[in-house]
Amino acid sequence: QQKFDYWAPFWGVAILAATGAMMWFKSLTGTVLPGWTLNVAAIIHGHEVVLATVYLFTIHFFVNHWRPDKFPLDIVIVTGTMPLEEFKREYGVEYARLKESGELEDYLVEAPSQPMALGSKVLGFSLVAVGLALLVMMAIGMGSNL
């Protein structure tokens, strides 16, 4: 699931950029490609936006924010650190490989300072709030188009 999380923005952004550029530069697109490609670009663009939004607010939010052991949010993205017990539980195979090879000690770091942890939580909550606000605005926008 995490590899999908990592790669999805790359192909998603490429699809959105390509189809968005086609629609933005309609005249240029129309001189190079048949007119029906603009309709296809609009459909693909819209579906990709919905796919990304649905994924973000279901799978991503659950795994990273709303799971009971992660709630209210996981600050590893900001601090770059994870408690060893959590690493054992989440990445058991990787932990065992590092432990067996003697490399585990190379990756151990100090826990983030209290100000860093607090700042990470403030940033995280702010980003979640912005995301939820955008979701509400999208729902209002989609509702007004029906």
Mean pLDDT for the stretch of residues 113-117: 90
Looking at residue 39, its pLDDT comes to: 94
Looking at residue 142, its pLDDT comes to: 74
Amino acid type, 97:
R
- Which pair of tokens denotes residue 36? 């029906």
Mean pLDDT for the stretch of residues 53-79: 77
Question: In terms of pTM, does the model score above 0.85?
Answer: no
Mean pLDDT for the stretch of residues 59-75: 76
Please state, in angstroms and rounded to a whole number, the distance separating the CA atoms of residues 75 and 81: 8
Is the pLDDT higher at 76 or at 4? Answer: 76
Please state, in angstroms and rounded to a whole number, the distance separating the CA atoms of residues 53 and 134: 10
Q: List the helix and strand counts (H, then E) for the chain.
A: 9, 0
CA dihedral sign, ordered 26, 27, 30, 35: positive
Whether the Cβ atoms of residue 45 and residue 19 lie closer than 8 Å to each other: yes
DSSP run (H or E) holding 64: none
Looking at residue 34, its pLDDT comes to: 94
User: Between the CA of residue 52 and those of 35, 37, 55, 91, 116, what are the distances in Å?
Assistant: 27, 22, 5, 26, 30
Please give the mean pLDDT across all residues of the chain.
85
The one-character DSSP state at 33 is S
Is residue 102 scored above 80 in pLDDT?
A: yes
Is residue 19 scored above 70 in pLDDT?
A: yes
